[in-house]
Amino acid sequence: MKITNVRAVPVRIPFDGEPYPGLSYTTYQPDRTGRLSPKRPSRVLDYVIVYIDTDEGITGVGEAQADIGFFGNTVEQVFYAVRDYLGPNLIGLDPFDREYIASALNWRGNSCSRAGIDLALLDLMGKATGRPVGALIGGVHHARLPVSKEIGGGSPDDMAAYCVEHIEQYNIKAFKAKIGGNPEMDAIRLRAMREAVGPEVSLRADANQGYRTAKDAIRFCRLCEKYDVNLELLEQPVAYQNIQGMALIRRSVDVLIEADEGCYTLQDAMILIRNEAVDVLNIKIGKSGGITNAKKIAAVAEAAGLVTVVGTALGLGPERAAKLHLASSTPTMLPHVEFSELTLHGALLIDADERIFSAPVDEDGCLPVPTGPGLGVTLDDARIATHAIMID
Ligand SMILES: [Mg+2]
């Protein structure tokens, strides 16, 4: 089988509501210094859908996210990278040579563009063999995975109420609060959440690099200990370049410390490990450049005695499916997969597939791992045509 064409279709999706309830999409929250994604000045999310055609008539479909605020790329950059630079290098190659292709395209940056290609290759391999992606990358250890939901911020009472609402409505048993700014207020927020949800629910916190100093983050963790929050982990408390600060926080507190913005590549993971800077590595398909590299990051984490977690990235459909395939096939990952995109917007999936991903999740707060060939989802061409945008 040979690749005959790589196509890139940019789409722009409007969405209702807030990606992180409680924190306005466009307005600045005075006591939160951490940066939130997405950053467009209007309520839209951009993606590039990647199609890889073959001489056997099978097409793989992937998704490349475009988010200058988090991933550092615009939809225009992703589109040009896939159409004009990465894609042409694939013509004539066997799509089953996925590891070789990932290596050949492993240029600096463009992680989302490379992820879109990697997902399309895996989708293609699955369709060609009649197997779900999970079966090709390690086997499906879990038929469904528990969901963790993010909370944008707001008053302690609002954040606590949001948790209770989602437990009652969807039976979700894990939440991650967006914090980062005022350690005292942040700890009070987490205390209110813990008091509202009881002892069994997992509570995580993500500062998105929001604490100005490592000592602010240490203070937050110690207050959480004092308040019996039982915080499962604290994600990216300080700037991603501040590896020594991360190491200091990790040494100073019992809470597990996680890198997100600081962990894109396999080499990033190794630097964090060598500096004993983290307990947990956050993996996002758009950061690592696809599942192929994500699996390698999980492997080095395993060797170093660290755990990994699959983070939220506001995926469209193929990316959401890919997260489930990745987590279900990697036994060393923490169980809860972060899915803020659950209630974010209507996807471009066909209705049957969309139902897999739309809230409410099942009665136990879990999402099923898609079982169809490839990524196991099908994009609706009519919806894509509606949301496609013109670039050059
Ligand atoms: Mg994060």
Tokens of 203: 């509570």
Rg (CA), the chain: 20
Q: Could you give the CA distance from residue 96 to residue 138 in angstroms, rounded to a whole number?
A: 16
Whether residue 112 is predicted with pLDDT greater than 60 in this model: the reply is yes
Q: For the chain, what percent of residues have pLDDT higher than 90?
A: 76
Tokens of 19: 């990606």
- Compute, in degrees rounded to 10, the torsion defined by CA atoms 283, 287, 293, 296: -30
What is the identity of the amino acid at 252? S
Q: Comparing 3-130+381-387 with 136-368, is the CATH topology the same?
A: no
Cβ atoms within 10 Å, residue 28:
8
Note whether 171 and 196 are within 8 A (CB): no
Tokens of 374: 């490839």
Q: Note the pLDDT of residue 374.
A: 98
CA of 339 to the centre of ligand 1 (A): 12
CA of 205 to the centre of ligand 1 (A): 9
Half-sphere exposure of 186 (CA within 13 A, CB side): 34
CA of 183 to the centre of ligand 1 (A): 17
From residue 145, alpha-carbon distances to 37, 68, 328, 344, 389 in Å are: 24, 29, 7, 19, 34
Pick from 181, 160, 299, 293: nearest CA to 237: 181
Instruction: Give per-residue pLDDT as tens, 118-149.
Output: 999 999 999 999 999 999 999 989 999 999 99
- For CA atoms 299, 301, 302, 307, the dihedral sign is negative
Instruction: Give per-residue pLDDT as tens, 67-93.
Output: 887 898 999 999 999 999 999 999 999
User: Degrees (nearest 5) of the Cα angle 112, 339, 128?
Assistant: 55
CA of 361 to the centre of ligand 1 (A): 22
Q: Note the pLDDT of residue 313.
A: 83
Higher pLDDT, 40 or 160: 160
**Per-domain boundaries in the chain:** 3-130+381-387, 136-368
Best-predicted range by mean pLDDT among 40-49, 96-105, 243-252? 243-252
Q: Note the pLDDT of residue 41.
A: 57
CA of 185 to the centre of ligand 1 (A): 19
Tokens of 160: 């606590």
Higher pLDDT, 200 or 26: 200
Check if CATH label 3.90.1170.40 holds for domain 136-368.
no
Q: Could you give the CA distance from residue 185 to residue 227 in angstroms, rounded to a whole number?
A: 12
pLDDT tier, 52 (very low <50, low <70, confident <90, very high otherwise): very high
Instruction: Give per-residue pLDDT as tens, 350-381.
Output: 988 888 887 778 899 999 999 999 999 999 99
* 17 phi and psi angles, rounded to 5 deg: 75, -160
* Conformational region of residue 138, where left means phi above 0, alpha means psi within -120 to 50, and beta covers everything else: left
Fold designation for 3-130+381-387: Enolase-like; domain 1 (3.30.390)
Note whether 177 and 370 are within 8 A (CB): no
Instruction: Give per-residue pLDDT as tens, 161-202.
Output: 999 999 998 899 999 998 988 999 999 999 999 999 999 999
- Tell how strand 256-259 and strand 233-235 pair up: parallel
CA of 38 to the centre of ligand 1 (A): 12
Q: Note the pLDDT of residue 342.
A: 66
Rounded to two decimals, what is the model's pTM?
Answer: 0.94
pLDDT tier, 28 (very low <50, low <70, confident <90, very high otherwise): very low
Whether residue 32 is predicted with pLDDT greater than 80 in this model: the reply is no
Q: How confident is the prediction for the chain on average, in pLDDT?
A: 91
Q: Which residue has the tokens 């019996």?
A: 228
CA of 39 to the centre of ligand 1 (A): 15
Q: Could you give the CA distance from residue 65 to residue 40 in angstroms, rounded to a whole number?
A: 13
